[in-house]
Amino acid sequence: MASTLALFATSVGTGLLAGGASCAAVQGGLLAGAVTRRSPSSASAPAPATAHRGSGVAVKDRRPSPATEPPAEPKALVPVGAFLTGKLVSHTLLGALLGIFGDALQPSPRARAVMLIAAGILMVLFALDLFGIKAVARLVPRPPASFGRLLRRSAKTESAATPALIGLATMLVPCGVTLSVELIAVTSGSPLAGAAVMAGFVLGTAPLFAALGYLFRRTSRALSGRLAMLTGVVVLAVAAWTVVSGVQAGGWAAFNLNRSPDAAAAGSPTDPAETTPDSRKKKPVTSGPVRMDASGTQIVTLTVTDFYIPTEFTALADVPTTLVLRGKDSGGCARAFTIPELGVQEIAKRNGDTEIDLGTRKPGTLRFSCAMGMQTGTIDFVKG
């Protein structure tokens, strides 16, 4: 299970970079309806008089003077805040449910990786749809048109709870990035982590929604059109990052090995003269990231902080091997350690050792990563 804090921070960033514009393009009309509701005072106030066409009679304008007219701008913040609060509540609850669903499924590291890749592909479809490519229009999931019309009609009511209810209902009108983040909530495998994913995403989108609240009252369609191209570019970038993370989380490739100065120290568990079974028993190597203990078991030690140190190891094949995750004030996604090929999923201790039996490995490369595929590393097993 990936770190809840890391997932929250990632989701906030996704909301800021892509989710706000994408959701504004889809839900801007709902926000505009919530903001531009008529208040009871405005509804009961006498309508401004106008000159009737063809009557030749000019009727005196009875609108209140600017001095007596109540300030509208502060009041407009109330429905915007209610809308965002309702959205935050509904999406947080949805994230918790998705996390419970993922926990019940108990997907393997590679199953989670497939979900991440699917989320990235879904983002690509929505980006292409924002670009106006008609070929993908049928592939993009959309809510029923009747549902959108119902929400827009309800936005015209005077109830103070209406904006909050519309915000609650936005989970039924998701944008493409939202759907992708929902898949990530499933991969979290925890109600707390799932709630953090969705809450972080909504909080990330909140600044743009608040800033555009006034503008959407008048020009939501125009702004949505202008945002479409920029949104598509940002969504494509996030999609590429998500797909790369999924490929790394599945152990199929590694693109961002974080080389550290300590990596060079992980070259070989023994000196060349000590590579025979007899010499290993007589002269065990007792220090370094790869060593032999007195029983002839190979110990590979991976230090886990907020990162993995080192990220590359060279170890002997055909030798019983134990991987030790050595937590040193560990945090973030690095704590959620996986070896996709073996189906290993472990949460490293914040401070302390966690042992993983790797068995006797044949020559080859064994990849490991955090659960989100953001940090990776390899253990290269070679013949002695």
- pLDDT tens-digit readout, 132-181: 888 887 877 665 666 556 555 555 555 556 777 777 877 776 766 777 78
Backbone dihedral region of 271: left (phi > 0), alpha (psi from -120 to 50 degrees) or beta? beta
Rounded Cα distance between 160 and 166, Å, is 11
Q: How confident is the model at residue 45 (pLDDT cuts 50, 70, 90)?
A: very low
In this structure, are residues 200 and 8 in contact, taking their beta carbons and an 8 Å threshold? yes
Tell me the CB-side half-sphere exposure of residue 231, using CA atoms within 13 A. 29
Q: What ranges make up the beta strands (E) of the chain?
A: 290-292, 298-304, 308-309, 312-316, 320-328, 336-339, 344-347, 351-360, 364-370, 376-382
Rg (CA), the chain: 28
198-240: pLDDT as tens digits: 999 999 988 877 776 655 554 545 555 565 676 678 778 877 8
Q: Which secondary-structure segment (H or E) carries 97?
A: helix 73-105
Give the torsion sign (CA, 202, 204, 207, 209): negative
In this structure, are residues 338 and 109 in contact, taking their beta carbons and an 8 Å threshold? yes
127-141: pLDDT as tens digits: 888 788 888 878 776
241-274: pLDDT as tens digits: 888 888 998 999 888 644 444 443 444 554 444 4
User: Taking residues 322-346, what's their average pLDDT?
Assistant: 89
Rounded Cα distance between 2 and 157, Å, is 43
Rounded Cα distance between 113 and 339, Å, is 12
- In the numeric block, the tokens 């949505």 are attached to 224
Q: What is the pLDDT of residue 66?
A: 47
Domain at 261-382, CATH from 2.60.40.420, 3.40.50.300, 3.30.429.10, 3.40.50.2300: 2.60.40.420
List Cβ neighbours of 131 (8 Å cut-off, separation of 6 or more): 228, 229, 232
> Taking every pair of C-alpha atoms in the chain, what is the biggest distance, in angstroms?
114
Q: What is the pLDDT of residue 199?
A: 93
DSSP 3-state of 42: helix
Q: What is the pLDDT of residue 42?
A: 42
Cβ neighbours, 10 Å, residue 343: 11
Whole-model pTM: value is 0.66
Bridge partners for 339 per DSSP: 344
b/e map 111-134, b = 16+ CB within 10 Å: ebbbbbbbbbebbbbbbbbbeeee
Q: What is the pLDDT of residue 321?
A: 97
Ordered by start, the domain boundaries in the chain are 4-38+72-249, 261-382
